[in-house]
Amino acid sequence: MSDNTRHGDVKRRDFVKMLGGLGAGFGVSGFTMLANREKAFASDGNDEPDIRSKLNTIDSPIQVDEKRYERFNQKNLAYNLLSRETNQNCVMKMFQKGVTYWKSGQTGYEIPEMDPEDARTMMAFMWGANSMNVITGAFGEGEENKGALSWTGEIDFVDEHFNHHFPPPTMTDPAKLTRLVKQMARLSGADLVGICRFNKKWIYSEVQRNPMVPDQPITKKITFEDVDQPKELADRLIIPSDVSHAVVMGYEQARLLGQTSPSILNMAASGLGYSRMGFSSVTLANYIRAQGYWAIPCKNGVGPSVPFAIEAGLGQDGRSGLLITPEFGPNVRLDKVLTNMPLVPDKPIDLGVYEFCNYCKKCARECPSKAISMADRTWEGPTPMSMVGVYKWYNDHRKCLSFWMENGNNCGNCVAVCPFTKGDFWTHKLTEWTIKNIPVADGLWLTLDDAFHYGERRDANEVLRDVDITPYGIEKDKFAKSKL
Ligand code: SF4
Ligand code: SF4
């Protein structure tokens, strides 16, 4: 069996020695704090303190310029806009390219080392891994109120006598409902679950009903009206104006598979994440309806998930544009369910991501398409594929997706290399604590991160054949137990 921690050969005493060598920039007090922290995490990692309980909370986690901000139109999402620009369904183009590669005995940019036979069979596995994703409304964007993502629960696979026969709510206590909803979210597979007050800003102004179709987009507005249940009419989708909360869920992805990015194994990992997300989203929405409230399962659809997740306290947005969580870094898929159920919101958290990303830039360095900015946060992105008026790091989605189409499958280098992805090992906790408490040391951590080989690309063959893979490839036993 191969060690699946890659950095497991770095001894703790060596690390502390290393710190000693680099100590000049810290000062004595910094080292005293580090030493105490090292002692606190010196055990085998199973008795870790809850890292969330150490974090500060923030009242307004997202800065918005109200004069410039307007709700984003889904027809300008990268997949949709690039399909129009190139007059082809860019996702199908990506898959076709992947098939061309393995048929010709090569496998794209990814893996000169990967046997074409493995690439072919893993492509079949990847399609299977996405099956529950497809059944539950692939990705969610453009799939609003379709099939399993029904906004009312009218789904073919639910008994007709069950649909629409839920009594009015009997339970109204927000604390009790919050406890139950979080229990059910976890029972259906969510690794993280947080709740935020509903924020209309993060709802698409329009959805594209023919996603990724390279001709004229067919769109419908999303409006808010005084209706009892979510509705779809010929010209619009209606969210009832009593919408009050979003339940936001995070699903860890197979980190080791992701470290082979941009290989087909990485795409299998994201497919598994999407499938878990779809199952959970639909299941939780049904549970909420049975409690007498309405629920809209979204997956990626209805609005971008990252701002919901920030407001629900799951994490902060990083330079890569992805949500960084304390438990899994950016290695999570995100989903949300909107509802009128009275719930208790969680507090947004500050884990020092902005300070760390200012120094780190590792994702930008390792991005094969140079889609990630090396510059400071700003108020608008380089393409119309992003919203404007939000202060954050913006990617060039056109460059990113164009690379995927050339590569023959997706990419996750920005997830794999991020220091926050590395897992819940003692050094990881020490890093997180130091980022938060000794910002001056941030530059040092990038050096150390490279020195530890964190996020280094892994050989796909090694991962397939030599590593003992856990269920879904996730590492719950080694990662932090989330207290969210
Ligand atoms: S997915 Fe790959 S190409 Fe896209 S931004 Fe991330 S690293 Fe760059
Ligand atoms: S790789 Fe570095 S810069 Fe990029 S998101 Fe992660 S911490 Fe931030």
**Per-residue pLDDT tens digits of the chain, which is 484 residues long:** 444 444 333 444 444 444 444 443 334 333 333 333 333 333 334 444 567 877 889 999 999 999 999 999 999 999 999 999 999 999 899 988 888 877 776 655 554 556 777 778 888 899 899 999 998 888 889 999 999 999 998 765 566 666 666 789 999 999 999 999 999 999 999 999 999 999 999 999 999 999 888 888 999 999 999 999 999 999 999 999 999 999 999 999 999 999 999 888 899 999 999 999 999 999 999 999 999 999 999 999 999 999 999 999 999 999 999 999 988 999 999 999 999 999 999 999 998 899 889 988 999 999 999 999 999 999 999 999 999 999 999 999 999 999 999 988 899 999 999 988 875 555 556 666 666 666 656 566 666 667 666 667 888 888 888 888 889 998 765 444 555 5
What is the helix (H) or strand (E) element at residue 84, kind and residue range?
helix 78-86
Whose C-alpha lies nearest to ligand 1, atom 4? 400
Of all protein residues, the one whose alpha carbon is nearest to atom 2 of ligand 1 is 411
User: How many whole angstroms separate alpha carbon 122 and alpha carbon 305?
Assistant: 28
Pocket test for ligand 2, best of 332, 418, 421 (most atoms within 8 A of CB): 418
| CA of 169 relative to ligand 2 center, distance in Å | 44
Q: 166 CA to middle of ligand 2, Å?
A: 46
CB of 454 shorter than 6 A to ligand 2: no
Token pair for 383 = 């393409």
Q: For residue 19, how far is its CA from the centre of ligand 2 (angstroms)?
A: 22
Burial of 260 (0-12, 13-18, 19+ CB in 10 A): buried
Query: In 10 A of CB 236, how many CB atoms?
Result: 15
- Residue 212 CB–ligand 2 contact under 6 Å: no
- DSSP secondary structure string for all residues of 256-285: HHHTT-SSHHHHHHHHHHHHHHHHHHHHHH
Residue 390: strand pairing partners:
64
Q: Between helices 28-40 and 12-21, what is the axis angle to 10°?
A: 170
Query: Can you give the pLDDT at residue 341?
Result: 98
Helix (H/G/I), strand (E/B), else coil: 96 = helix
* pLDDT at site 33: 36
C-alpha distances in Å from residue 220, one per residue of 144, 200, 203, 217, 299: 10, 17, 13, 10, 18
Best substitution site from 110, 372, 374, 383 to test ligand 1's pocket, by max atoms within 8 Å of Cβ? 372
Please provide residue 232's backbone torsions phi and psi, each rounded to the nearest 5 degrees: -125, 125
All residues at 6 or more sequence positions from 80 whose CB lies less than 8 Å from its CB, including other chains: 74, 142, 208, 211, 212, 217
Cα–chain center distance at 148: 21
**In a mutational test of the pocket of ligand 1, which residue from 396, 414, 457 has the highest number of ligand atoms less than 8 Å from its CB?**
414
**Would you state the pLDDT for residue 100?**
83
212 CA to middle of ligand 2, Å?
30
Q: Is the dihedral of CA 69, 71, 72, 75 positive or negative?
A: negative
**For residue 195, what pLDDT is reported?**
98
Dist. CA 400 → ligand 1 center (Å): 5
Cβ neighbours of 428 (radius 10 Å): 25
- Cα separation, 327 vs 324, in Å, equals 9
Gap from CA of 410 to ligand 2 centroid (Å): 19
Cβ of residue 192 lying under 6 Å from some atom of ligand 2: no
**Which atom belonging to ligand 2 lies closest to the Cα atom of 366?**
1
Q: Nearest-CA neighbor of 273 among 156, 136, 180, 367?
A: 136
Ligand 2 within 6 A of CB of 392: no
Among 328, 357, 400, which residue has the most ligand 2 atoms within 8 Å of its CB, making it the best to mutate?
357
357 lines ligand 2 (CB under 6 A): yes
Q: What is the pLDDT of residue 17?
A: 42
Ligand 1 centroid from CA 139, angstroms: 18
In short, whether 82's Cβ falls inside 6 Å of ligand 1 is no
What's the rounded Cα separation, in Å, for the pair 41 and 29? 19
Q: Kindly state if the Cβ of 401 falls inside 6 Å of ligand 1.
A: no
Q: Is the dihedral of CA 448, 454, 457, 459 positive or negative?
A: positive
| CB environment 368-381: b (16+ within 10 A), e (fewer) | bbebbbeeebeebb
Among protein residues, the one with the nearest Cα to ligand 2's atom 6 is: 418
Dihedral angle sign, alpha carbons of residues 355, 358, 359, 360? positive
Distance 271 CA to ligand 2 centre (A): 23
**Nearest atom in ligand 2 to 319's CA:** 5
Name the residue of 400, 404, 418 whose CB sits within 8 Å of the most ligand 1 atoms, as the mutation to test its pocket: 400
354 ligand 1 Cβ < 6 A: no
Question: Rounded distance, CA 122 to CA 268, Å?
Answer: 8
DSSP 111: -
* 3-class state of residue 223 by DSSP: strand
Number of the ligand 1 atom closest to the C-alpha atom of 399: 3
315 lines ligand 2 (CB under 6 A): no
Pairing mode, if any, of strands 349-350 and 192-197?
A: unpaired
Check residue 132 and give its pLDDT: 92
- Ligand 1 center from residue 259 Cα (angstroms): 13
How far is it, in rounded angstroms, from Cα 273 to Cα 252? 7
230 token code pair: 């979510």
Cis peptide before 262 (omega within 30 of 0): yes
Burial classification of residue 161, based on how many CB atoms lie within 10 Å of its CB (0-12 exposed, 13-18 middle, 19 or more buried): exposed
